[in-house]
Structures are given as C-alpha cells and as structure tokens.
C-alpha cells in the first residue's frame, strides 16, 4: 500500500485535513487538502460522503479501524504540486474572503 510522507500538518479546516506530503524523500512536496472521515465523538463507525468507504487517491481503501470506528481519507480533495497552483488557490481564497467580509 502506498504511504505518503507527511512533512507538515496544518490545522483542520472543517472536515478537511491540510498537509504537505511527498511520495518519498526525493520527490517534491505537494499541498494535499482532503476530506477526512473520522469519528470525533467515539460512537461507532462513521458514514463518509461515499457511503463510509474511505479511499486513497488510487481508489484503494485507506481506512483503518481505530477503537472509535472507521477513519481515513476519502477521494474528495485536491493536490497542488506547483507554486503557481498554490498561488492561484491563494488568490481565489483572498477574493472569496473579501466577498464574505462585505456580506457580514
């Protein structure tokens, strides 16, 4: 099973985990924002957005059974590997934030 190296984990954003990951020590760092299925209240298995089946980017299951239930990443999310892509996302988020501030 493919296991990414997590270089840095940022605070979660809603149900999304934001991390800097790489495939191996020689590969470039990628910004990975993915939906995470977890069970914060500890009450049995969690149903995810795709019926409770957490899968990795390759479509294989990446869920694990913890003492609190199933948890893992779904296929929903984005991976940005270039500075240009990250800057474009930053610009879009800046515009969205300014639009939200106007409405508040």
Instruction: Say which DSSP state 70 is in.
Output: E
Q: How many domains does the chain have?
A: 1
Higher pLDDT, 1 or 8: 8
pLDDT digits (tens, 9 = 90+) for 80-101: 999 999 999 999 999 999 999 8
**How does residue 19 score in pLDDT terms, banded at 50, 70 and 90?**
very high
Please give the DSSP secondary-structure letter assigned to residue 58.
T
Enclosing domain of residue 53: 5-103
Collapsed DSSP state (helix, strand, coil) of residue 67: coil
């Amino acid at each position: 099973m493919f296991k990414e190296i997590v270089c840095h984990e940022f605070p979660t954003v809603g149900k999304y985990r934001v991390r800097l990951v790489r495939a191996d020590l020689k590969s470039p760092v990628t910004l990975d924002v993915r939906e995470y299925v977890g069970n914060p209240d500890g009450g049995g298995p969690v149903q995810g957005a795709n019926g409770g089946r957490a899968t990795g980017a390759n479509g294989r299951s990446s869920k694990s059974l913890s003492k609190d239930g199933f948890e893992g990443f779904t296929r929903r999310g984005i991976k940005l590997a270039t500075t240009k892509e990250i800057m474009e996302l930053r610009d879009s988020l800046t515009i969205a934030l300014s639009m939200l501030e106007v409405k508040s």
